[in-house]
Structure 1
């Protein structure tokens, strides 16, 4: 991770600590994950969200990549919204030249002291969320903008190459969200195609046309990016990293890692490089 993204992750985590819930960054108006950030600053990785996703991710994917994306195209100011599971979030869009280049999402929160949520299976986790209080909104928005505006401007508006062209096809957005959330599992293009009601061959064509690379190439790049971050930033065993990143076993991971990077995983860890995903 470059120093700029390390600093962004640090500031997001600081806000998250203060509000006792998430503070994450999604890039572009389509709410895509910023793969150069640690997982926790780019995904809804909280007990409540994970409990809801465990019942089926389709609604979460639709909420993030479609509903919120549609809202961002119509709004220029921060706004509060309620997700399909009954939690609320404060969304703070960042714009440049009349275009949203990303959004900070603060939450999830309970909607009130007696809020129950809309997902009975996640009720216990919902009750553990902090309560949203409207009087906090001005201070929270100011905190986020003061903390992040300068850094985000430097990262994205002065370096537009970091922003990919917005993906407009909702089916590809759903597949990207699926891959970014489930890369540690055994994933086939058939599974992804079924998620968006396409044939594998049709999805393969659309994915390459939209993303500029094959489905399998994207998934491998995603897994290797996470692996590089874990090698440089943690002391996890290489075998555990292999499993966490979806490679199955250490031998398979080691062979692919060396082929792609020219170094073994141990050599890469020893050098502790700056990571650019």
Structure 2
């Protein structure tokens, strides 16, 4: 069983509070190399768990693949283009409010997806599910404006603490602004090398290593490795890509080396970890 770590508990509580008050789901997905759920959060924060319309859609031929395309391709593409917040209609006709949560100077660490709703006058694209579609709450202009105005400020600090203050990896958050800025860069792109990071700060690599360890109480190389392994873990659990493809996508040219490092970090080799903890795409 994967338990929610301390650095994510405040975010989880806020998402559950919002769902209880609004009466709709609030999904959270990490905006990394791909848009993926967070494995250290319960299923309800990554999926429309128990939502009758979405469950019925996924049972139809091509229904689940349409859901995957909506999240992993269409929403992800709009986020890469800098869109947000926005309303996204899925292949079944329901809509979600997509709210990137910007908690620093760079790319938003993740997005909240509120819904599903039906728009005023909206139509279900599967006639056999019309009854379930009509049971979805209607998304009024006033409700949409309220979500956009209220939710990002409410979640900004929990997201910052969860993802910008070391993602549960750093023993100490740095006081030095140069290292704090570096953390934002590697959060957006953990494939950056120490040489590239040192050049960006006009420091020698040895000076950067010394400064990073003094500020954060962990080596820069170890920190970068842990970030990349966590991104690999998300890909592993929420899809069926071959291990070799995940390894390359997260910066490991040698699959056997990746497997050894993954096992050291998470206690199981990648395929066994997927079999034990993997979650179907949604």
TM-score by length of 1: 0.62
Partner of 2:13: 10
Comparing 92-101 with 32-41, greater Cα deviation is found at 92-101
What is the CA–CA distance in structure 2 between the aligned matches of 1:12 and 1:160, rounded to whole Å?
18
What is the CA–CA distance in structure 2 between the aligned matches of 1:6 and 1:161, rounded to whole Å?
11
Relative distance call for 1:76 and 1:138 in structure 2 (3 A) is same
Q: Which runs of 4+ in 1 moved over 6 A?
A: none
RMSD of aligned alpha carbons: 3.2
Could you tell me how far 1:148 is from its partner in structure 2? 1.0
What is the CA–CA distance in structure 2 between the aligned matches of 1:166 and 1:121, rounded to whole Å?
45
What is the CA–CA distance in structure 2 between the aligned matches of 1:205 and 1:42, rounded to whole Å?
25
Could you tell me how far 1:9 is from its partner in structure 2? 1.5
Alignment of 1:1-277 (within 5 A): 1-29=4-32, 30-45=34-49, 46-55=51-60, 56=62, 57-95=64-102, 96-112=104-120, 114-159=121-166, 180=238, 192=240, 203-211=242-250, 213=258, 217-218=269-270, 220-222=272-274, 224-225=276-277
1:25–1:105: 8 Å Cα contact kept in structure 2? yes
Work out the number of aligned pairs and report it.
201
1:51–1:121: 8 Å Cα contact kept in structure 2? no
Give the greater-gyration-radius structure (CA): 2
1:90–1:105: 8 Å Cα contact kept in structure 2? yes
What is the CA–CA distance in structure 1 between the aligned matches of 2:43 and 2:74, rounded to whole Å?
22
Task: State the secondary structure of the residue aligned to 1:99.
Answer: coil
Task: State the secondary structure of the residue aligned to 1:100.
Answer: coil
Relative distance call for 1:123 and 1:17 in structure 2 (3 A) is same
Could you tell me how far 1:205 is from its partner in structure 2? 2.9
What is the CA–CA distance in structure 2 between the aligned matches of 1:23 and 1:225, rounded to whole Å?
22
1:208-242 Cα offsets, whole Å, 9 max, x none, are: 3225556994453255458xxxxxxxxxxxxxxxx
> Unpaired segments of 5 or more residues in structure 2?
170-186, 192-230, 253-257, 263-267
> Unpaired segments of 5 or more residues in structure 1?
168-172, 182-191, 194-202, 227-244, 247-277
What is the CA–CA distance in structure 2 between the aligned matches of 1:150 and 1:92, rounded to whole Å?
15
Could you tell me how far 1:70 is from its partner in structure 2? 0.7
1:94–1:103: 8 Å Cα contact kept in structure 2? yes
Relative distance call for 1:39 and 1:111 in structure 2 (3 A) is same
Relative distance call for 1:124 and 1:166 in structure 2 (3 A) is farther
What is the CA–CA distance in structure 2 between the aligned matches of 1:219 and 1:49, rounded to whole Å?
29
